[in-house]
Amino acid sequence: MNWANLSPLPAEPQEAPIPPNFTWQEVDTIFLDMDGTLLDKYYDDFFWEQYVPEVYAFRNSLLPDQAREQLLAVYRSVENTLQWTDLDYWSERLDLDITALKREVSHLVDVHPHVVDFFRHMQEKDKKLYLVTNAHPKTLQVKMEKVRIEHWFEQLICSQEVGAAKEQPEFWQRLQHLLPYDRTRTLFADDTEKVLHSAAAYGIKHLIHVAKPSSRLLPRHSFHFPSILNFRELMF
């Protein structure tokens, strides 16, 4: 489910966000998160916080607010685990066809501004791009059917394939075996600070926080990692 982080790490007060501070000569490999980083997170927020509660309320004779309150508690119970994004798990637990429901509102799936321009820029610089996402493979399929950006990547990697969520230290250890890379020459961009902290602990050197994951919400800069509003800021 990659919607708004339910328990963000507290920010340390600073006068201004931290700007990116690296050169592309220092980077060979680029890992990019999907939801909120490349794609507008409004789709995910709307789906889990509004659409699913409405359907769940109708199926279970509840008021929408009652359903939403119940579901938020259920969501929190598996936060930062593989179940968090497992559509099969949620279909069984909620007795709903979650994949079918995702397709019903998939017209909301959209790519953030300047993302494709950034892909072209990286292609010109001969950098290797990898999509690294907590999204379930069925979610990935629904979204790629809409936005068609998979051809820009060397590989699409889901946390289900790795066997751990990106927030968990073992994710990065296992990814190293699946996809050997030099962590000192790797850049990773994500909109979730917990994930970036996990990557930093493993030793990934260049980390970028995306401060505006949803087009409908105000930006929230990180004060732990360099932050960008969009990928045009990395086109140098």
As its CATH architecture, domain 24-40+109-234 has: 3-Layer(aba) Sandwich (3.40)
Q: Per residue in 129-171, pLDDT tens?
A: 999 999 999 999 999 999 999 999 999 999 999 999 999 999 9
In whole angstroms, how large is the CA radius of gyration of the chain? 18
Q: Spell out the domain ranges in the chain.
A: 24-40+109-234, 43-107
Reply yes or no on whether the pLDDT at 10 is more than 50.
Answer: no
pLDDT value for 16: 82
* Helical H segments across 79-157, by residue range: 87-94, 98-104, 115-124, 137-147
Sequence-separated (6 or more) residues with CB below 8 Å from residue 177? none
Reported confidence tier of residue 80, pLDDT bands at 50, 70, 90: confident
